[in-house]
Amino acid sequence: MKKIFFLTFAIFAFFSCEKDTSIKEETPQTENEFQYIDLNSLRESPIYKLILTLGFDESEIRISDKYLILQGDILFPLSYNKEISSKHWRTETLVSFENQTNIRVKIDNSIPPTSQWRTAINQAITNWNNIPDCRLNFSLVTSGQFDILIKSDDGVLEDYLCLCSWIPYPYYLPVAAAGTFPVGGKPGSEILINLTWKILMRALCP
C-alpha cells in the first residue's frame, strides 16, 4: 500500500502542463457527480479530443459526471473543457519551480481516522521528502489551505480493471487510487482512494 501511494504522488511530481489562462476551472457541479453518463455526449469535447491526440485509445476512457477517467487511475475534471490543445499539455516537465518546495496535502474526513490509508499517506510523504537532492517537498496539513486533497472515491474507481485484455485470459485487478492531472504548473488537486481495494485484493489473492 505504501508503494502504491509513493507511485500515486509521482503523478503530481513528474507531470505538468504549461501555465495558460485559457484553462479555467468551473464551479463544481451540484448533481450527483458519480452518475455515469454516455461517452458519446463528450466525444466532441476538447479534453476528450486531446487525450486521443496524445495517443490513448478510446477504450481506455471512462466518464462520470465530474471526471474523465483515463486508464483507470488518471482523472481529468470535466471542468477543464475549455479552449485546450496538445500544446497546452506536456508530460516531460516538473511542477513549476515556485510550486515545488511546499506541496500541502490534506486528508479528507471521508478517509476513516483508523484507516491504514492514513498510515500509507504519511509514509509516502516521508519517502518523498527523504529523497536526496529533490526539491519537491510535501507537508501534511489538517486545516487551512491545501494543494492536494485525498479523499474516498465514493464508488468512482473501477473495482476490477482489466490490465491484460488478451483472450482467453484477461487479467483483472482493482484500482487502488487515482489522481487528477496537474494544470497551470500546480500539482493535481485530488487523489481518490478506493477504500475497498484491500478487501478486493484479498479476494483475488487469498
DSSP 85-103: -GGGEESSSPSPGGGSS-E
Give Cβ neighbours of residue 117 (< 8 Å, ≥ 6 apart): 1, 111, 193, 195
Least confident span in 3-12, 125-134, 139-148: 3-12
Q: How confident is the model at residue 51 (pLDDT cuts 50, 70, 90)?
A: confident
Is the CB of residue 174 less than 8 Å from the CB of residue 158?
Answer: yes
Tracing cell 490509508 back to the chain, one arrives at: 117
**Ranges assigned E (strand) in 32-122:** 61-63, 67-70, 74-77, 89-90, 103-107
Task: Specify the higher pLDDT residue, 109 or 65.
Answer: 109
Task: Specify the higher pLDDT residue, 9 or 138.
Answer: 138
Task: Specify the higher pLDDT residue, 171 or 49.
Answer: 49
| Averaged pLDDT score across all residues of the chain | 71
For residue 190, the model assigns a pLDDT of 92
Q: What is the pTM of this model?
A: 0.68
Pairing verdict, β 16-17 and 89-90:
antiparallel
